[in-house]
Amino acid sequence: MMLEPLRFPTIVAAALFVAAFAQSSNNETTTPEQRLNGKRTLSVGMVVFPGWQPMDVYGPIDILYMMSSWGKYKMTFSVIAQEVGNVPSMPPPHRHQPGAPVSDWGHVISSQIHATHTFANAPALDVLFVPGGMGTRLVDSSNNTEIEQFIVKRYPRLDYLISICTGAVFLAKAGVLNGKRATTNKATYNWVTQGHGENIKWEPNARWTVDANIWTSSGVTAGLDATYALMKHIYGPEEVDKVMALIEYAPHTDPTWDPFAVFHKVCWF
């Protein structure tokens, strides 16, 4: 009976361990499917066009960059545009709204990303990111349908399609959001949600949405949170949580967290 005094704390410790494990296994442990995903090479594409929003594109890129370096995951990455070459984040001169004067955006500070592929020669893709930005309205109003045609053509073979910010316009116009839940930038919510797509269940109060294999995020930095959630969905939490610690980002993990819906007076009543 020498060991008797140890029993109670041992049982408590074991119970606590089991309770903690059960808690974390709700959604925080890696499933066998996620482990298999970790062994394949993920082919990721990012659409760009003149007037791409810098962080719509580079928030997700930073997470992918870290998942492919300090994380243990194999990825390929294609930046896809009308032509191979540099694409500026400065939008070309255009009317911001029909009837408005043509704005010259030459005062906007700009940078250029190198597009590695065209819509015609992009490789087979598992995940396609579609960002938004100030150039979205120009692509929309100029009847340039290349991006939505690319989405229509590629969606059937994608594992995941994800829009950031006003990139949801391209998904809506491609028809892939019809009958589905989706969200977008709250500052331009009315423009995006009126006249694009059919029977889309637009969420006025969401950091991001998931419906089947289509993810849509709210404005700009919401892309960080949606990408975090998507990486966790694909691979499990282990590496992406380490990546968050390395990039020192505390992600918003509640998809209904959306103070900007209130700020921009986007309401559902």
CB of 173 to a second copy, least distance (A): 23
Q: Which of residues 132-151 bind a second copy (CB under 8 A)?
A: 134
Is there a contact between 157 and 124 (Cβ–Cβ < 8 Å)?
yes
Taking CB under 8 A as the rule, which mask of x and - marks residues 35-64 in contact with a second copy? ---------x--------xxx-xxx-xx-x
Instruction: Kindly indicate which of the ranges 31-39, 100-108, 138-146, 155-163 contains the residues binding a second copy, using the contact rule CB under 8 A.
Output: 100-108
* Nearest C-alpha neighbor of 225 from the set 61, 71, 59: 59
Query: What does the alpha-carbon distance between residue 74 and residue 218 come to, in Å, rounded to a whole number?
Result: 28
Is residue 107 near a second copy by the rule CB under 8 A? yes
Q: Are 151 and 174 in contact (CB under 8 A)?
A: yes
Smallest gap, in angstroms, from Cβ of residue 79 to a second copy? Answer: 6
Q: Does 184 bind a second copy (CB under 8 A)?
A: no
Asked whether the beta carbons of 249 and 227 are under 8 A apart, the reply is no
**Tokens linked to 264:** 């921009």
Whether the CA torsion 193, 189, 214, 179 is positive or negative: it is negative
Instruction: Choose the stretch contacting a second copy; rule: CB under 8 A; options: 21-29, 104-112, 117-125, 190-198.
Output: 104-112
**Contact status, residue 78 vs residue 122, Cβ threshold 8 Å:** yes
Q: Lay out the site mask for a second copy across 203-242 (x = CB under 8 A, - = otherwise).
A: ---------------xxxxx-x------------------
Residue 87 structure tokens: 């694409």
Report the half-sphere exposure of 46 (CA within 13 A, side-chain side): 29
The least distance separating a second copy from the CB of residue 12, rounded to whole angstroms, comes to: 27
Provide the binding-site residues for a second copy, judged by CB under 8 A: 44, 53-55, 57-59, 61-62, 64-65, 68-69, 74-77, 79, 86, 89, 105, 107-114, 134, 185-187, 218-222, 224, 245-250, 259-260, 263-264
